[in-house]
A and B are shown apart, each in its own frame.
Chain A
Amino acid sequence: MNALSRRIAALGHGFVAMLTGLGAFARLFTAILARSGILWRRPRLTAQQVHFIGNHSLLIIGVSGLFVGFVLGLQGYYTLNRYGSEEALGLLVALSLTRELGPVVTALLFAGRAGTSLTAEIGLMKAGEQLSAMEVMAVDPIRRVLTPRFWGGVIAMPVLAAVFSMVGILGGWFVGVVLIGIDPGAFWSQMQGGVDVVSDVLNGVIKSLVFGVVVTLIALYQGWTALPTPEGVSRATTRTVVSGALAVLGLDFLLTALMFAH
């Protein structure tokens, strides 16, 4: 009986901790949004973050996009060839990239490449008591440190996803048209006939924007709440990747169900 009641208490404790975490997460989000005025007052701070988060992620995003496009071209050709409709390869590559792979894979890479560095940076600032020092000097660390990083991530993510999709389509074109020899006219016209600007391209951009908000916020939250020890920062960095990736995949299912279920 005693063991049972302890189990129930542990369950209750876990639930309360989860709710507290969610509440702190939402409060951090509103706190960042409330301080977004710095975006206009000191735009250079955000520009620096776009440069750090965006430009430095371009290489990994571009190379991954290219190879995802290559593989899509090869695998798609393998299957479509059985039904004698290789020309639909362009459509297959473009739809899978703009709708799913572009936003999702970019968000996963983004969590690994940019999210971890945000978490580690803020976690170390906290461990080195730089954030406390700022507060002592009456500088609001959420406004000065977190908000520019948040908007930097939110701006960079859709750009990276669009680049990923574009490079991926070019990769699929390279494998399909240049290497395998599909008719280029049919490749592009099938693609243009089947990809809708609003329901496919725009929805993909909206997805990537949502992922950008969620991944950047998770990274900032993990750094912000990290224990100020080396171990705490390393755990927070791991949690950024794990919960960021899970949040992206779960949200992707929800968004897909909302957007594409007719």
Chain B
Amino acid sequence: MTREKTDFWVGLFILLGLIALVFLALRAGNMSSFSFAPTYRVQAHFDNVGGLKVRAPVKSSGVVVGRVASIGFDNQRFQATVAVDLEKQYQFPTDTSASILTSGLLGEQYVGLTPGGEDKNLADGGTIEFTQSAVVLEDLISKFLYNSAEKEGSATAQPAAPAAGAAH
């Protein structure tokens, strides 16, 4: 085989590898959802972040407006600190509230933002004051069981009380 022919096939081989990598990054991976728009960082404190992960989306009205940058624990407040990068083109009032929500029943968790009514907007390094923690399924179930047990207890206790009164 001549030199030029070998070079051609090797070039084609490398090109095929690059195409495969681009395919993996764009078609299979989340490269296309990477945004290089300028962002500003805002913090929020949560009692419980549940299963929230770094790079989880931050949504407002269902639209992705940013990503979770880091999750840490604040040892002064004994709360989780979540830093989020919001895109500069989206501005939110200072009394915006953040809550950790789940998409679908078993889907991934994300941070939902509900805008408030203040005139001033959140700036870089600002803090979201109003937060709502993730719903933990175990808490929900135990609350439900506790409630229904209480209801059942009072339902059986009530007919018994007048009967006891009539005996006297």
List residues of chain A with CB under 8 Å of any chain B CB. 44, 47-48, 50-51, 54-55, 58, 94, 98, 155-156, 158-160, 162-163, 165-166, 169, 188, 191-193, 195-197, 200-201, 204-205
Q: Is the CB of B9 within 8 A of A195?
A: no
Interface residues of B, count at CB 8 A:
26
Note all chain B residues with C-beta closer than 8 A to A54.
10, 13
Closest 8 CB pairs of A and B: A159-B17, A162-B20, A166-B20, A197-B29, A94-B28, A195-B29, A197-B31, A163-B20
CB neighbours (8 Å) of B12 from chain A are 55
Q: Which residues does chain A contribute within 8 Å of B6, judged by CB atoms?
A: 44, 47-48, 51
How many residue pairs, one in A and one in B, have C-beta atoms under 8 Å apart? 82
Q: CB distance B9 to A55 under 8 Å? A: yes
Asked whether any CB of chain A lies closer than 8 Å to the CB of B33, the reply is: yes
Given contacts A51-B9, A51-B10, A55-B9, contact A188 B17 (CB under 8 A): no
Q: Is B78 an interface residue (CB 8 A)?
A: no
What 1/0 flags go to B14-31 for Cβ under 8 Å of A? Answer: 101101110111011111
A-side contacts of B34, CB under 8 Å:
197
Whether a CB of chain A sits under 8 angstroms from the CB of B151 is no
Give the residue name and chain of the A residue nearest to B11 (CB): A47
The residue that B16 contacts in the complex, of A44, A94, A163, A165, with Cβ under 8 A, is A163
Binding site for A on B (CB under 8 A): 3, 6-7, 9-10, 12-14, 16-17, 19-21, 23-25, 27-34, 55, 108
A contact patch SS = helix
CB distance from A174 to the nearest CB of B (A): 14
A160: B residues at CB distance < 8 A = 17
Q: Is the CB of A159 within 8 A of B30?
A: no
Is the Cβ of A98 less than 8 Å from the Cβ of B10?
Answer: no
- Report the nearest B residue to A93, measured CB to CB: B28
Chain A nearest CB, measured from B69 CB (Å): 14
Q: Is the beta-carbon distance between A193 and B20 smaller than 8 angstroms?
A: no
- For residue A155, which residues in chain B have a CB less than 8 angstroms away from its CB? 14
Contacts of A204 in B (CB 8 A): 24
B21 → A minimal CB distance (Å): 5
User: Measured between C-beta atoms, what is the minimum distance from A60 to chain B in Å?
Assistant: 14
**Residue of B with least CB distance to A152:** B10
